[in-house]
Each structure stands twice: as structure tokens, then as C-alpha cells.
Amino acid sequence: MIQLDQFSVRRGGRVLFQKASMQLHPGWKIGLTGVNGAGKSTLFAALLGGIESDSGSLTRPNVWTVAHMAQEIQALNMKAIDFVLSGDEEYWTIQHQLEHPDQLSNDELAHLYSRFDEINGYAAAAKASQLMAGLGFFDYQSQYDVASFSGGWRMRLNLARTLMSRSDLLLLDEPTNHLDLDAILWLEDWLKAYEGTLVLISHDRDFLDAITDHILHIENQQLTLYTGNYSTFETTRAERLAQQQQAFEKQQETRAHLQKYIDRFKAQATKARQAQSRIKQLERMQELAPAHVDTPFTFSFREPSKMSSPLLALEHADIGYGDKLIVTNVNLQITPTSRIGLLGMNGAGKSTLIKSLVGDLALLRGTRYASELLNIGYFAQHQMDALDGAASPMLQLSRIADKKISEATLRAFLGSFGFSGERMDTPSESFSGGERARLALALIVWQRPNVLILDEPTNHLDLDMRHALTMALQDFEGAVVLVSHERQLIASVCDELILVHAGNSRDFDGDLHDYADWLRQARNDLMKQGQQPAAPVQSKVEAQPVISKLDKEAQRKEAAKRREQTRPIRKNIEKLESQIGRLQPRLAEIEIALGDSSIYDAARKDELLKLMNEQTELKQQLEQAEEQMLGLMMELEELESSFD
């Protein structure tokens, strides 16, 4: 059992938590939550025995073995399977000793073999292979050196090594950050079966819900233990905060009533005793604090500047690298209303498809169509890495902003993304992963994209920021293509699911629960096949007939004819776009003016009425223009489809 007794920790002059007293029982699966900087990592360090408390104590049984996942590992010249096996320290030590039997006495050998059998050492290699397979490694990769893997895959190896330990207490800090959904589902199943005590830091709501039975929340320098998973915690906490606020308000009323009596009668001799009694009552009253919730982070995507349909399309596309075909015969069209979630196992080709859509990767075959109005906002890990570390958020934003825009406007915009004070002018090389992700998002939002292509956008974001991103994407008026291991995000944002698997892409008809079942079955099938590398993908794109010069001329004339037929509609759309472009800035100016409290002074009544009337009229004009443009766009789309 882990015992906290009046446990207090201060770091850098700041109190993280104080006078925490509770018991964490063996076998509990505890989710550790709180905003970034609240002290979650510090509590981990305390559980490991790496820090001293300022007062009070934190104790755990001395006999417990603690497993902890480090955040980084070196590029070791050590086989991956051996690295994982070394996670079971006793097995690893005995194994090395048994490799040199000549250096041991018979009694020592007998003892080692006996202990090796007790710890199930003969099954260790099979366990390590299962862990690696569950986290997405192929059998043949077990013989690769650790140094040959990328940073994300080394983190997977590190997780496998941590799980290899026969631990009594398991500490995991964001274990899903570098995992695909199939690996996350496997890890969920593994952790559910784990018999020791688990303390888990995660910003994945679904993951926390699936595993935890208690939530330990850090807020306002307090550690509070809740029974149940994350969803239960949210409900219970909301109820507790409501009760706290109610009690606070009632107490304030009582205090005000007592104070009023004291102020009125303390000078009167006949009432002096009663007044003194009220004073003592007021002094004895334990002061309650108002309910406080950490201010949630919010932002919104700016309205896209211009639209057309389709915005982006792949037709009969073969995608891959060099001579290696990854996915064949991709047909994908993205319109302003598209909300596409890309599903598939690790290595299936989701990121390759995204790079082909963006235009970073040339097609091996087929056609990529991009509208003249296409403006892509692309978020991926390498976009974050490409940030100028020597430059501040303010400098990086000013580089892409119109020089006419004031510094105050830029600072206000960055402030909406959580950058305030000196942080705006601090070089981004010192930023955390979460801060870099916020900055990358801010730079994308500023450019008003009409297509958002997001590859694992939540990896470094906390729960509040993930919620904010979900809400912003729901309100975004353009197209979205999303790859994410976070089920909540996909379910909230996407209404079309595309499965990339075995070299093909197709519509996925079920929901995410169906996809989870499909993943588990696909993983079982892969295990049965021995996780051998898949056979090379064969192109399914039919060869196009050679077009003669005469045919080309006929096609050119037909294309010209079609352009002429659609010209009137396009001209009307352009007129409406121009009209909307004039209306929106004026409406924005009026909203700013109405936000000024001085406009509501009696002396400015006429001005206020004039602004409000103008606002009503402009809104009506804007609504009519938008409706007309929508009708024209639908008419254009119907006309173009009739040409096929």
C-alpha cells in the first residue's frame, strides 16, 4: 500500500501540493490528472523515491519492484529483443551468470537454475516477442539494433522493456504518444490484465476510461482521489464544485448578515452583548473558498478566405516511395464539406497518403487535382520540428502576416493560443512539446486554410487543449482530413471513415467500435501468419489508352465548350464572393464598436441605434449572398457532373 501523510512538495518557490493524506491500495489502476505544470511528473519522481518532500511523507513497501518508463533512450548497439529482455533485471542478471558456468560452484549453479525456473525464465523470450508484436514490431525487427530505429519506435521499445519488468508498481507517463490505435487497443488489454498497482499519466480520455478505476487529480495545490474512471471523475468533480460554490455563496450571505448586525448594534449598550456574540461567531466560522476550475483553453479556426468544389482530389493514384508501392488505385475527392478520418494499422500507408494529398510526395501513377483556390493547413510531427527554434512566436507569426497588421493584433492572436507576456518573445527552442504544437497550430490557423490535413495532431496536447481542438474542428467551415489514435477526436469530427489496409483504400462502413473489433481481428490474423512482411503491393490501375493528336484536339474543344457553359455561373459566384468580401470586414468593425462599453452611454444612443440597424441590414445581405452562392455552387457541381 502507498501511504501519503500530510505530504507537501514545493518547487522553485511554488507549492505544487500540500498536506495530502490518502492510501493507494495494491491492484488499483490510478489515472493521474491535472493541467501541465500542476506537479504530475513531480509526484512520479516522489513515487520513485527520487525527491524529498518539504513536509509529511510518502511511503511504499520496500519489497515492491517499481517499473518506470523513461522518456528517452540512447541509440544503443544492442539487439531490440535483448533490450526488451533486459527490462526483467533479475532474469537478465541470471541469464548472464549462467552463460559462464565455469565461474560458478555447483551450489551456485543449482540455486540460479532453481530461481530461473521460479521466475519463469524459460518463457521470457516468448513474452518479450509478444510485447514487441503487440506494440507493432515484426518478428524480423527483433534482431535489429536499437540504434536503427527512429525516435518514436525507440519509445515503443522502451515501453516494451518497461512492461517486461515483473513489477509491483508500474508508472507510465503518456505511453500512447507514439502508438497507433491498434497498439493502443493492445496496450489497453495488457494493462487491464496487469495485476500490480498502476499509476498512469495520459491525456487520452478513452484510454483512461478503459483502464482506470481511480483518478488522482491535482488542482489548486491539492491532491484529490476520486473513485471510478475518467468519465465518472468528471461527473463527480462537477457535482463537488457545484456544491462547493453553493456552500460558499450561502456562507457569504451568512457572513454579510452577521456583519450587518454587528455594524448596526455594536455601539448600542443594550445590544453590545449580542453584537459581541456575533463577532465571535464570525471569527469561528471557517472561511470557504469559491469553487475554482482551471480556465479551459479555447481557440477557433478563422473562416477560410475562398472555396471551390472539389478542393483536392486523387484519381487512380498509386502512392509510395521510389519503386515501393504502398497503396494502389486511390480515388479520393475532398470538397468543402468533407470530414474524413483515415484508419488503418501501423505502416498501412496513412501518412504516405497524407503526404501525397499535401503534394510533398509525388504520385507513382495517376492524377492529383488541386483547385486554384486550394489553401492547405498541414499539421504533422515534422511541421513542429520545422519551427524556427531561434525565433519567438511573435517573430514567426510576423514573418507570415501582412506588414500592415498591427503588433497589438498579432499579440492578441497569440494570446488566444495560450502565449502571454514574455512567452511571446521567447525563442521556441526552449518550448515543451505542447507549446510547440500550439505554436504550429497558431501559424496554420493564421493562414486561413480551406483544407486541414492533420497527422496525429494531439500527441503533445493536454486534455484541455485536445478538447479545445475538437471544438474548433467541429466549428471549422472547411474540409478536414484526419489521422489520429484518439478515438474521441475522430468520432467528434469525422463523418466519413476510410480504411487503408493491405495496399488498398476503401470506405469503412462501421463506426469506431466496429473498427476496434476489426483491428483486434486483423492483429490476431497477423499473429497467426507469424508477422511476416506483407507481399509487395501490385498496382490495380489500368493502363490508359494512348490518345492521338486528333483525340487530344477533340478533348481540347470539348473542355473549351464546357468552360463556356459554366462561365456564367462562375462569374456570378465571383460577384457574390466579392460582395461577401466587402460585407464581412464591415460587420467585424461593427462588432468591435459594439464591444466598446462607451457606445451604450445615453449621449451616444443615436449612434448605437444606427450601428445596430446597419448590423441587421448587413447580416441579412450576407445571409442572402451566402445562400445564393451555395445554390450556384450546387448548380455548378451538377452541371460539371453531367459532363462525365
The three-state DSSP-derived secondary structure of 470-511 is HHHHHHCCCEEEEECCCHHHHHHHCCEEEEEECCEEEECCCC
The pTM score is 0.67
Under 8 Å between Cβ of 38 and 143: no
Give the per-residue pLDDT at 292.
46
320: which residues sit within 8 A by CB, 6+ positions away? 326, 327, 349, 352, 364, 537
428 has pLDDT over 60? yes
Contact yes or no for 354/380 (Cβ under 8 A) = yes
Region 535-541 average pLDDT: 82
- Extents of the domains making up the chain: 1-232, 233-282, 310-527, 551-640
User: Burial level of 14, CB count in 10 A (0-12/13-18/19+)?
Assistant: exposed
What's the burial of 7, exposed, middle or buried (CB within 10 Å: 0-12/13-18/19+)? Answer: buried
> How far is CA 188 from each of CA 25, 29, 184, 211, rounded to the nearest angstrom?
21, 12, 6, 6
pLDDT tens digit string along 203-261?
888 899 999 999 999 888 889 999 999 888 888 877 777 776 677 677 677 777 667 76
Q: Which residue has the cell 529483443?
A: 81
Alpha-carbon distance of 80 to 91, in angstroms, equals 16
DSSP per-residue string spanning 269-324: GGGHHHHHHHHHHHHHSPPPPPP--PPPP---PPPPS---SSSEEEEEEEEEETTE
When pLDDT is averaged across residues 559-563 and rounded to a whole number, the result is 72
CA 70 – CA 123 distance, rounded (Å): 25
Element (H, E) at 14: strand 14-24
Side chain identity at residue 614, one-letter code:
E
Question: Do 223 and 20 form a contact (C-beta atoms < 8 A)?
Answer: yes
Helices (H), 309-378: 350-358
Q: Is the pLDDT of residue 547 over 70?
A: no
What is the C-alpha to C-alpha distance for residues 537 and 540, in angstroms, rounded to an integer? 9
| Backbone torsions φ then ψ of 313, nearest 5 degrees | -155, 150
362 — pLDDT class (breaks 50, 70, 90): very high
Query: Under CATH, to which class is 1-232 assigned?
Result: alpha beta
Position 98 pLDDT exceeds 70: yes
Per-residue pLDDT at 214: 95
How much is the average pLDDT of 30-37?
84
Going by C-alpha positions, the residue among 297, 215, 218 that lies closest to residue 40 is 218
pLDDT at 628: 86
Residue-level pLDDT at 131: 92
Task: Decide: residue 480, CB within 10 A, 0-12 exposed, 13-18 middle, 19+ buried.
Answer: buried
Q: How high does pLDDT run on average in the chain?
A: 83
CA distance 392 to 94: 52
> Buried b vs exposed e over 163-184: b needs ≥16 C-beta within 10 Å?
bbbbbbbbbbbbbbbbbbbbbb
For 310-527, CATH number? 3.40.50.300
Q: Where are the beta strands (DSSP E) in 202-273?
A: 214-219, 222-227
Q: What is the pLDDT of residues 317-333, one digit of tens each?
A: 999 988 889 999 999 99
First to last CA, the chain: 71
Q: Which of 186-200, 338-352, 396-410, 451-465 bottoms out in mean pLDDT, i.e. has the lowest? A: 451-465
Q: What is the pLDDT of residue 291?
A: 47
Cα–Cα dist 328/535, whole Å: 14
Q: Quick one: CA dihedral 141, 145, 146, 152, positive or negative?
A: negative
Answer whether residue 355 shows pLDDT above 90.
yes
Kindly state the average pLDDT of the residues 605-634. 85
- 281 vs 58, more confident: 58
Structure confidence at residue 497 (pLDDT)? 93
pLDDT score, position 486? 85
Contact yes or no for 424/411 (Cβ under 8 A): yes
pLDDT of residue 368: 94
Neighbour count for residue 599 (Cβ, 10 Å): 14
Q: Which residue has the higher pLDDT, 194 or 566?
A: 194
Count the alpha carbons within 13 Å of 447 in the hemisphere toward its beta carbon.
Answer: 19
- Binned at pLDDT 50, 70 and 90, residue 524 comes out as confident
Confidence of residue 550 (pLDDT cuts 50, 70, 90): low
- Ordered DSSP codes for 88-130: SHHHHHHHHHHT-GGGS-HHHHHHHHHHHHHTTGGGHHHHHHH
Residue 233 Rama label (left phi>0; alpha psi -120 to 50; beta): alpha
CB count within 10 Å of CB 39 equals 22
Cell match 451566402: residue?
626
**Range with lowest mean pLDDT among 112-121, 319-328, 390-399, 565-574:** 565-574
